[in-house]
Amino acid sequence: MTNSLTSSIWTEAVTQTRLLRPDFVPVELMHATDKSILIAGTCCAEAAVAKVLTSRETFWREKFTREIAVYRAFARSAPPVRVPHLIAADAEQGVLLLEHLPGRRLGPDRYPPAPLARQDVCPAVDALGALAHWAPAPGAFAHAWDYEHRLDRYLGYGLVQESDHRALTRLLQEAGSARYFAHGDPLPGNILLDRHRVGLLDWEFAGYYLRHLDWALLWVLLRATPVARTLIEERVAAGDPADQAAFTVNRAMLLTRELRTHQELPTAPWQQARLAALTRDWDALCADWRR
The burial class, CB within 10 Å (0-12 / 13-18 / 19+), for 57 is exposed
Q: How far apart are the C-alpha atoms of 212 and 48, rounded to whole Å?
A: 31
Render pLDDT for 219-270 as a digit per residue (tens, 0 to 9).
Answer: 999 999 999 999 999 999 999 999 999 999 999 999 999 999 999 999 999 9
According to the model, what pLDDT value does residue 3 have? 60
Bridge partner residues of 50 (DSSP):
39, 97
Domains, the chain, ranges and CATH?
3-101 (3.30.200.20), 105-290 (3.90.1200.10)
Residue 1: is its pLDDT beyond 60? Answer: no
The burial class, CB within 10 Å (0-12 / 13-18 / 19+), for 124 is buried
According to the model, what pLDDT value does residue 33 have? 85
Q: What is the pTM of this model?
A: 0.92
At 54, is the pLDDT very low, low, confident or very high (cuts 50, 70, 90)?
Answer: very high
Residue 275: is its pLDDT beyond 90? Answer: yes
**Closest to 125 measured CA to CA, from 205, 184, 212, 57:** 212
Render pLDDT for 17-33 as a digit per residue (tens, 0 to 9).
Answer: 999 999 999 999 998 88
According to the model, what pLDDT value does residue 166 have? 95
**Closest to 243 measured CA to CA, from 199, 211, 271, 213:** 211
Render pLDDT for 81-97 as a digit per residue (tens, 0 to 9).
Answer: 999 999 999 999 999 99
